[in-house]
């Protein structure tokens, strides 16, 4: 019998369902090999040689894999089809070869978990792609080097050993912090808007003042507008009409970032939740015929679609809604990193005939929402464009110029399946030189608005446009910043915490190059070049380490004792009320059991107050009553409990992190 090794047990079940008893399929439960947790693990003086170790809690998995090799003729490594999956396959191969050098090992690669694709992969196995592995290992080593050398600088500067810096996380934190500085520096300005309200054929519409005498919108002088209002006649003359037909084209099928943004905008999903639900849809859902993979691989920055999938989709549209089918196939492609992305496809349904409605009862509410989103976006991508008529009407009154705009949809096209944010503004039939009587003229006070904070969707958009991170890192980066308490969510926006502000300030002031957009984006490109044979692990690591050492030397010289005092003071979080015992300030501290407030005059004044804990809710609602599920704590640790307690007694344990010691392993 042959053995297939994948990352997740759910994926293993789906593949076993397709292959029946022909193969044995087991899971590695993700990565099993990594750099040691408590030391650098990289010999910087010996070609940056890594010291690989079995991860904490994974020793039993390694033994399980070795035990599974009994009576096995061949091993297939079927981890995910990306750099990370390739690295997992590489490390598993090394583990197997330690004790079973004679067993042939090959790599299976498929982008959808279907019977056809698995059979196709088994007919075309390949060797582990060492170039892709090199790219991923280089990425891991750079992340370790930056974290290992920069984090201690933060510890010493801010007297806090829980802090960390990272290649991607620090740049993203900088985005959020600098946006907050923009908002704080913003000075609101008052201006005035003048509107005339009309009604014709039971349709009400507005015209806005654009120009009067030598002044143009926006208007800061209210007195000027009040005097103009007195001079205006009741009748406005239509001086010009502009009609323009515009076409709105469907977007390509989803990439990872586009899926995360749309799921956030449509359903309020955070990026981690989107990826968790997408993973389930990819790995398999229980349908009538058993476990079935519903979508293609969900970590991709490609918009390409296979010829077979394209033909199937156009056939589906032709049969069910022929009038919406685009005359010729819409072919989408990426310009950037085309070599790296060529093997990948966009995120799409594996079978367009499995409509969301046909399997709604088999999906959870969140799975249904996300599958519907993916299915509709893919379907819309081969439909005709929507057509609008944009109308701009100019009016005159006593030499002043007014304008009103309308938008009318002439043809729905793809928007029937995937609505956009184009709103119609219907105007009545109006002719040139027609005279219209205003029902009223109003002067409204307005204020300029500060920049908006990032949402998860807009931050992912920023990361993608600036080249910071890759599809697999968007969600983990945001999750890490939240977990580190560097940022917090405020009404669905992202705001830096006090400690996040100071950490970013320290890094920008003393490691500006390393946490700059240009440096980080260039590094991402260099890592991509390894995969296309245009660079090498050693070349990239040498250049990076050179920059790192230079930055560390300069940081040591630029950090004064005054800087340290200033940073320490800024990093403190004070209670909004003074100490009830001595009247001094209460400062936030972190102990073994979480945050608390202590009098700043400690140990003279020993007054303590427990900080009110932020409520942590599970994303899924209570399966028994539908209410929210909240994290609670008992003497045995954290657990999930229904907010409806004691009426609803639903509880679920939260597994503790394993504390098993890691075993060392040589590369």
Rounded to a whole number of angstroms, the distance between the first and last alpha carbons of the chain is 29
CA distances from residue 617 to 485, 497, 627 in whole angstroms, order as listed: 17, 20, 11
Backbone dihedral angles phi then psi of residue 291, each to the nearest 5 degrees: -65, 130
β-pairing, 105-107 with 74-77? parallel
Give strand pairing partners of 242: 392
Backbone dihedral angles phi then psi of residue 306, each to the nearest 5 degrees: -65, 155
Backbone dihedral angles phi then psi of residue 186, each to the nearest 5 degrees: -70, 135
CB atoms within 10 A of CB 610: 11
Surface-to-core class of residue 433, CB atoms within 10 Å of its CB (0-12 exposed, 13-18 middle, 19+ buried) = exposed
Backbone dihedral angles phi then psi of residue 545, each to the nearest 5 degrees: -65, -35
CA distances from residue 413 to 252, 355, 380, 381, 409 in whole angstroms, order as listed: 15, 19, 9, 11, 10
d(CA 43, CA 52): 11
Secondary element (H or E) of residue 152: helix 130-158
| Residues near 136 by beta carbon (within 8 Å), at least 6 away in sequence | 83, 84, 86, 87
The closest alpha carbon to 281, from 292, 265, 289, belongs to 292
| Residues near 154 by beta carbon (within 8 Å), at least 6 away in sequence | 160, 163, 164, 165, 503, 506, 507
Widest CA span in the chain: 97
d(CA 342, CA 434): 58
| Residues near 365 by beta carbon (within 8 Å), at least 6 away in sequence | none
Q: Residue 254 carries which DSSP code?
A: B
Q: Residue 657 carries which DSSP code?
A: P
346, 252 contact by CB (below 8 A): yes
Indicate which residue of 149, 297, 486, 567 is catalytic.
Answer: 297
Residue 297 bears catalytic tag: yes
| Residues near 152 by beta carbon (within 8 Å), at least 6 away in sequence | none
Q: Residue 151 carries which DSSP code?
A: H
92, 275 contact by CB (below 8 A): no
The closest alpha carbon to 171, from 465, 400, 513, belongs to 513
Secondary element (H or E) of residue 645: none
The closest alpha carbon to 597, from 586, 605, 581, belongs to 586
Three-class HEC string of 323-341: HHECCCCCCCCCCCCHHHH
In order, the DSSP letters of 558-607 are H--HHHHHHHHHHH--B-SS--TTT---EEEEEETTEEEEEETTTTTS--
The distance of Cα 568 from the centroid of its chain, to the nearest Å, equals 32
- Residues classed as catalytic: 297
């Amino acid at each position: 019998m042959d053995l297939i090794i994948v990352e997740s047990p759910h994926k293993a079940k789906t593949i076993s369902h397709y292959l029946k008893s022909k193969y044995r399929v087991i899971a590695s439960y993700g990565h099993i090999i990594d750099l040691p947790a408590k030391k650098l693990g990289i010999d910087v003086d010996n070609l940056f040689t890594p010291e690989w170790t079995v991860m904490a809690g994974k020793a039993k998995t390694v033994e399980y894999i070795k035990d599974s090799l009994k009576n096995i003729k061949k091993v297939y490594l079927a981890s995910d089809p990306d750099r990370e999956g390739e690295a997992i396959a590489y490390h598993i191969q090394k583990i197997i070869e330690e004790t079973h050098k004679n067993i042939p090992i090959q790599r299976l690669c498929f982008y959808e978990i279907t019977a056809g694709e698995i059979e196709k992969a088994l007919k075309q196995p390949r060797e582990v792609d060492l170039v892709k592995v090199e790219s991923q290992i280089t990425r891991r080593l750079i992340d370790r080097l930056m974290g290992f050398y920069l984090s201690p600088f933060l510890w010493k500067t801010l007297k806090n050993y829980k802090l960390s810096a990272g290649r991607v996380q620090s740049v993203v934190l900088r985005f959020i912090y600098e946006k907050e500085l923009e908002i704080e520096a913003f000075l609101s300005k008052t201006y005035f808007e003048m509107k005339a309200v009309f009604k014709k054929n039971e349709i009400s519409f507005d015209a806005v003042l654009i120009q009067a005498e030598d002044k143009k919108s926006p208007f800061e002088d209210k007195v000027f507008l009040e005097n103009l209002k007195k001079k205006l006649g009741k009748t406005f003359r239509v001086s010009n009409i502009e009609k323009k037909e515009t076409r709105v084209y469907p977007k390509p099928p989803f990439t990872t970032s586009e899926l995360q943004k749309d799921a956030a905008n449509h359903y309020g999903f955070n990026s981690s939740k989107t990826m968790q639900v997408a993973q389930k849809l990819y790995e398999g859902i229980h349908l009538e015929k058993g476990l079935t993979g519903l979508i293609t691989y969900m970590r991709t920055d490609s918009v390409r679609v296979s010829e077979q999938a394209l033909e199937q989709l156009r056939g589906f549209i032709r049969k069910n809604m022929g009038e919406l089918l685009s005359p010729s196939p819409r072919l989408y492609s990426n310009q950037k990193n085309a070599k790296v992305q060529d093997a990948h496809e966009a995120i799409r349904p594996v079978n367009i005939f499995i409509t969301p409605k046909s399997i709604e009862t088999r999906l959870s509410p969140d799975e249904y929402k996300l599958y519907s989103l993916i299915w509709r976006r893919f379907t819309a991508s081969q439909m005709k464009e929507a057509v609008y008529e944009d109308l701009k009407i100019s009016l005159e009154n006593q030499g002043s110029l007014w304008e009103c705009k309308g938008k009318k949809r002439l043809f729905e096209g793809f928007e029937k399946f995937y609505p956009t944010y184009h709103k119609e503004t219907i105007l009545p039939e109006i002719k040139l030189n027609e005279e219209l009587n205003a029902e009223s003229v109003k002067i409204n006070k307005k204020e300029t608005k500060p920049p908006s904070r990032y949402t998860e969707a807009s931050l992912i958009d920023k990361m993608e446009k600036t080249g910071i991170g890759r599809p697999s890192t968007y969600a983990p980066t945001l999750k890490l910043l939240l977990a580190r308490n560097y940022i917090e969510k405020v009404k669905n926006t992202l705001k830096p915490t006090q400690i996040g502000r100071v950490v970013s300030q320290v890094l920008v002031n003393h490691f500006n190059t390393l946490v700059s957009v240009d440096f980080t984006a260039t590094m991402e490109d260099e890592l991509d070049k390894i995969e296309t044979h245009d660079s090498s692990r050693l070349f990239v690591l040498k250049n990076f380490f050179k920059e790192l050492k230079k930055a560390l030397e300069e940081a040591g010289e630029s950090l004064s004792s005054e800087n340290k005092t200033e940073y320490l003071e800024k990093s403190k979080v004070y209670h909004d009320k003074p100490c009830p015992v001595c009247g001094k300030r209460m400062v936030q501290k972190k102990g073994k059991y979480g945050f608390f407030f202590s009098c700043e005059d400690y140990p003279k004044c020993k007054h303590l107050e427990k900080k009110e804990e932020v409520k942590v809710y599970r994303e899924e609602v209570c399966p028994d009553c539908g209410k929210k599920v909240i994290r609670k704590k008992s003497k045995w640790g954290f657990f999930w409990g229904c907010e409806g307690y004691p009426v609803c007694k639903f509880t679920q344990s939260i597994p503790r992190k394993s504390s098993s010691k890691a075993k060392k392993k040589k590369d």
